[in-house]
Structure formats: C-alpha cells, structure tokens
Amino acid sequence: MEQEERDALIEEVASAWRPESANPIQMHPAWQRLDEAGRIEAFELAQDLRQIEAALDPEGQSATAKAVLARVAALETRNVAEPAASKAKVISFPRRLFESQPLAVAAVAMLAVGFGVWASRDGVVHSPGEPDLPPAVVADRPSDELPLDDDPAPTPKTAQPQPGPAQDVQERLAAREPETKKPRRERSKSPAAKRSERRPPPSTTEDKKLAEMVDPSPRQPTKGDTAPEELPKPALRRNAVRAPNDTANAMTGSQTTGTATEEEKRICRTRVTVVEKMRRQMADYMPSPEEQLALGRCYITLGDKAKARAWLERAATDPKTKPSADKALKELDP
C-alpha cells in the first residue's frame, strides 16, 4: 500500500462518520484495510480532530457527539411512534384467553358439555342462539352442530350413520329431547346428512384419512346429497387444518373487529404524522425498509392507495422487505 493511500485511509478512519449497518458496532470500511500501526495512528488523529471540532463548535460538541446525538434523536422519534403501536397490542385478558388458546377453550368446552369436540367438523361447538355473528361467519358456520340439551328441536334421523362415539352421543341426546316439540325446518336432516352434503367424497387414500381425522364416523352420502364436488380438495385440506383457529378467531373477531380497525387507524395516523413531520424537518430523512413497509400498510389502512403504493414500492427495493412488500402490493392491486 502506498503512503498516500495509507494516509487517506487514516484520514477517513479518523472521521466520526460511520456507515449504517445491521451490526450495532458500525465499523468504517477503511478501518479494516489499515494495519495495526495505521489504526493506532488513526486513533491518535481522531483524538486531535475531536478536540479541534469541539473547540470550533459553539456548543463544544465534537463530530462524535453530534453523530451520537443524531442517533439519539432518531431513536427517540422512533420511540414516540412505537408506544402507540405497543399500547395497541395490549389485549384484555379474556380476549387473550380466547385468541391464544383455542385448544384450551375447546378442551374446556369438551369437559363442560360432556362430549368430544372432535366430533364437530371444525372442532368447536357453537351455541344455537348466536345472534351477532357477522354474515361471513354465519356462512361458514357449520350446519352440523350438535343439538344441546336446551335446544328445543329434536333431530330426526334421515341418514343411517355408522355407529361411533359421536353418534352414540347424538342418539342419547336425541332420546332425551321431548317428543312434543316439532322439528324445525332447517333441522329436518340429521347433522350427519348435512355434513355429508357439504363434504366432498374423499377420492384418494390421503383424503379419506384426512376426512376420517376430521370426522371420525365415516358416513356414506345419501341420495339427496348435491354438489359435493364443488369444494376442491386443497380447500378441504386447508379447512380441515385451519378450521379450529379460524373459528376461534371468528368467535372473538365478531365482537372486536370494529374496535381493532379503529385502533389500527389511530396507530397508523400517529405513525404517518410522525414520519411526515420528520421528513419536513430533516430533508435527508428516509425511513428504514421495515418502516417503509409499515407505512405502506398504514396507508392501505387509511385508504390512501397512491401513497401506500409509493411506500410499498420503496420497501420492495430492499431484499429484506421485498417479499412482504410485493405481497402487500398484490393485495393492493389484485
């Protein structure tokens, strides 16, 4: 290495500028090119330079002090925006209980009701008098819900299911129902028949096994069964695997969706305001890719598609955030 080049490297390393990197210790690229003597020389030079910088600064701050204070200011600005987000993440205990532990809820339901939840297709027993389910949830609501003791409608048998644990329970429950009550129109078919109508016949061995796991009492489709083929196999698999969680979310989501959206909007407004303020105050301020992605999503939440697209496209230029940004862009322009 020539002396001139070495001197230039020492001069560079002695500056207070350090590149931004994922590592908290942001080493200067030129530092690694210096030998030990050069590094010590750069250290001595930096000491002198900081002294000169501090002496020439009206507030006595060296370039190091200014660089650190700039990082502190950025950190504090970020902290202003983040408490709102972290505060919004606080979930009340009952909601947390229902959201995070659907299996535990199912287990409690199993104990309380006295029969296996696994007999239900999606693993959760619904009470028949749910008035406040949103339309989407109602549409997905399983029609094969088992009648409870307080259900006035007995379930007449139209199909002949194979004997199984769930069927035994159904028979016992049906026997306990008072005979004077007439069956409701929508309950004219047994749960087994309704289940058969919705479920496509398992065609492959894997599908058969999967169907058996979902519903342990295999049944033959009845004559009146229609269009079971409409549901594609992957959808069946997906439904079978995800049904408990989806149902659990629907259980809590039906009551919390409205407030959560408002909360998200409020957080987004705060975040957007902070970033816009920072961009006004600091000409060279540019949020990190993660922040750009979050901003893009915020603008989607706030309904500003143009700005959302702009931020998401920026976020998509970084390899770390590209997949998420691309996904969000696709959702923006389906």
Partner 1 sequence: MHSPAPVIGVPGDPGFAAVLASRCAWDRLVDLDEHLAGIANRDEQSFARWITHAEPTLRASLRGFAAQVDTEAVLQEALLRVWQRAPGIERDRKPNSLLRFSLRVARNLAISEVRRARMKPVETDAVERKLNALAGGEGPAPPDPMLRRVIAMCREKLPPKPKRALDVRLSSGGGQSDTELAATLQMTKNTFLQNFTRARKLLGQCLADNGVALRGKG
- The secondary structure of 90-116 as a DSSP string is ---HHHHHHHH-HHHHHHHHHHHH-S-
User: Which residues, other chains included, contact 206 with Cβ-Cβ below 8 Å and sequence gap of 6+?
Assistant: none
DSSP for residue 247: H
Tell me which of 2, 3, 56, 135 binds partner 1, using CB under 8 A. Answer: 56
Nearer Cβ to partner 1 (102/287): 287
Q: Is 286 in the site for partner 1 (CB under 8 A)?
A: no
65 is a site residue for partner 1 (CB under 8 A): yes
> How many alpha carbons lie under 13 Å from residue 198 in its C-beta half-sphere?
21
Report the chain's terminal Cα–Cα distance, integer Å.
Answer: 56
Residue 154 and residue 176 in contact, taking contact as beta carbons nearer than 8 Å:
no
CA dist 111 and 128 (Å) reads: 19
**Options 72-80, 112-120, 129-137, 191-199: segment touching partner 1 (CB under 8 A):** 72-80
Options 2, 3, 24, 149; binder of partner 1; rule CB under 8 A? 24
Smallest gap from Cβ 58 to partner 1, in A, equals 10
Q: Does 28 bind partner 1 (CB under 8 A)?
A: yes
Contact in structure between 32 and 1 (CB atoms under 8 Å): no
Specify the stretch interacting with partner 1 by CB under 8 A; choose among 41-49, 116-124, 135-143, 180-188.
41-49
Task: Check residue 50 for interaction with partner 1 (CB under 8 A).
Answer: yes
Q: Which is nearer to partner 1, 24 or 94 (CB)?
A: 24
Residues that bind partner 1 (CB under 8 A): 7-8, 11-19, 24-28, 31, 36-37, 39-57, 59-73, 75-76
